[in-house]
Amino acid sequence: MLIDTHCHLDFPEFEQDRFEVIQRARSGGINYIINIGSSILSSERSCLLAQEYDCIYATVGIHPHEADKADEKIIKSLSALAKKDKVKAIGEIGLDYYKNYSAPKNQLSLFISLVKLAKDLNLPVVIHSRQADSDTLNVLKSHLPLKAVLHCFSAGADFLKECLDLGFFISFTCNITYKKAQGLRDLVKIMPLERLMLETDAPYLAPEGYRGQRNEPLHVKMLAQEVCRIKELSLEEVAKATTNNAKQFFALA
Mapping DSSP to helix (H, G, I), strand (E, B) and coil, where does residue 252 land?
coil
> What is the per-residue pLDDT for 86?
97
Return all residues near 168 (Cβ < 8 A) that are at least 6 apart. Answer: 140, 148, 149, 150, 195
For every one of its 253 residues, what pLDDT tens digit does the chain have, with 9 covering 90 and above?
A: 999 999 999 999 999 999 999 999 999 999 999 999 999 999 999 999 999 999 999 999 999 999 999 999 999 999 999 999 999 999 999 999 998 899 999 999 999 999 999 999 999 999 999 999 999 999 999 999 999 999 999 999 999 999 999 999 999 999 999 999 999 999 999 999 999 999 999 999 999 999 999 999 999 999 999 999 999 999 999 999 999 999 999 999 7
Taking residue 222's Cβ as centre, other Cβ atoms within 10 Å add up to 17
> What is the per-residue pLDDT for 190?
97
> What is the per-residue pLDDT for 113?
97
Instruction: With CA atoms as reference, report the closest residue to 243 among 197, 212, 186.
Output: 197
* Distance (Å, whole) CA 169 – CA 249: 8
State the burial class of residue 212 (Cβ atoms within 10 Å of its Cβ: 0-12, 13-18, 19+). Answer: exposed
> What is the per-residue pLDDT for 150?
98
Domains and CATH numbers, the chain: 2-250 (3.20.20.140)
Mapping DSSP to helix (H, G, I), strand (E, B) and coil, where does residue 57 land?
strand
Q: Running DSSP on this structure, what letter comes out for residue 61?
A: -
* Distance (Å, whole) CA 5 – CA 126: 10
> What is the per-residue pLDDT for 253?
76
Is residue 119 within 8 Å of residue 143, measured between CB atoms? yes
CA angle (61, 35, 8) in 5-degree steps? 90
